[in-house]
Amino acid sequence: MAVTLRALQTVVPPTILIQEQVRDIFAAQPGLSRLAQRLVSTSFNVSGIETRHTVIAELTLDNDATEAQFFDARQQLLLVPSTKVRNELYITEATKLFVEAGSRALAACPDIRPEDVTHVVTVSCTGFYAPGPDYMLVRELGLKASTQRYHLGFMGCYAAMPALRTAKQFVEADPNAVVLVVSAELCSLHLRTSSDPDTIVASSLFSDGAAAGIVSARAPLPGEKALGLDLFETVITPVGEGDMAWKIGDEGFEMILSTYVPHIIDEHIEGALAPLFARDASITAQLAAPLSEDTSAVGGSVGARVLTLAPPASLSSVIEHWAIHPGGRSILDKTEAKLGLRTDQLNPSRETLRTNGNMSSATILFVMKYILDDAATADGERVCSMAFGPGLTVESGLMTVIEG
């Protein structure tokens, strides 16, 4: 039985942030040291981002709001709202994005009606409320009151992957199950001015967006492209617990995103992928080099056994499409070089980063949609997806393009 991800849809809020303009505003904030000003310019300039989106309508240069909470446009001053103020806006705006993305996914699947949905899985790490987005989707989309609801919260940028894995498990347990998966993140609510390097990097990257899809055992319609969900794997790298983290502060959520993260990924990405590839006979048979065993990579202190790729593995020819979470430009650069991928294989990730920034968990679904929307993507081609998050956790998946 093939379990497929269909009808991938994406949504971004209407307010657009021009990276160069945002850079100049952040660099001009009072209290920044000269070093911090240089870090702002460097971080924004090398981010690989041109535009981002935000739910904060007042984050525009022509805003004339007299009671601004986030940005005083007249003084070009970034304000410091409380966590409560930020979360109240999350409740309003995240609900809109969840519902719109879910509605679009259902509309893109004409053979699935709202009453067919048996499970809802929602994902977000940028706000909290209850009854939450899972409840709102059932109510606003006209789903059955008996729809099973699950919310994956505060997991970070990799959370859409375990959401898809969970949906796949529901369908495998019940072939009649239809699972609506929706991720929405409002990262811009927590951006702030600071001289802290981690905060500066976060301010140069994060943005808002939502994505949704439907997971079921129903075959795609004629002419429709979907992703067969083949395998998933989770790996925690032996270092990095303090290099990527997400905490709640009095003035919003506080992101720790160390500049060392790309180096951690560079050192451990092969070891993170090897357990996934080892479970797929067709891939291991095509690799130019065998898989070797390494007991020291992850969890070695407790005797965990992890497979690592013995170079040189011809991954770019074995797997055609790569959906890599664009946590930042340097992460994509390290991934491309370490795995020996072709430049064009990272285009979906780089284009998503360029036009939308890093939307945390929703981002990887944008990248998958980019691959499916490409006319050159063909039936039967394989897709390897990877997302990185706090821990440092690496979530990976193997998928197959299925055309109805």
Nearest-angstrom CA–CA distance, 109 and 1: 19
Catalytic residue among 109, 157, 187, 384: 157
Within 8 A by CB and 6+ apart from 265, the residues are 331, 334, 335, 338, 388, 392, 394
Under 8 Å between Cβ of 270 and 292: no
In contact, 87 and 147? CB cutoff 8 Å = no
Q: Are 320 and 344 in contact (CB under 8 A)?
A: no
CB atoms within 10 A of CB 211: 30
> What stretches of 5-118 show up as alpha helix (H) in DSSP?
19-27, 34-45, 83-107
Q: How far is CA 127 from CA 132, 134, 241, 272, in A?
A: 10, 13, 22, 29
Long-range pairs, 29-37, Cβ under 8 A, ≥24: 29/77, 29/78, 29/193, 30/77, 31/193, 31/195, 32/193, 32/195, 33/195, 35/195, 36/194, 36/195, 36/200
Q: Is 384 part of the annotated catalytic residue set?
A: no
Catalytic residues: 157
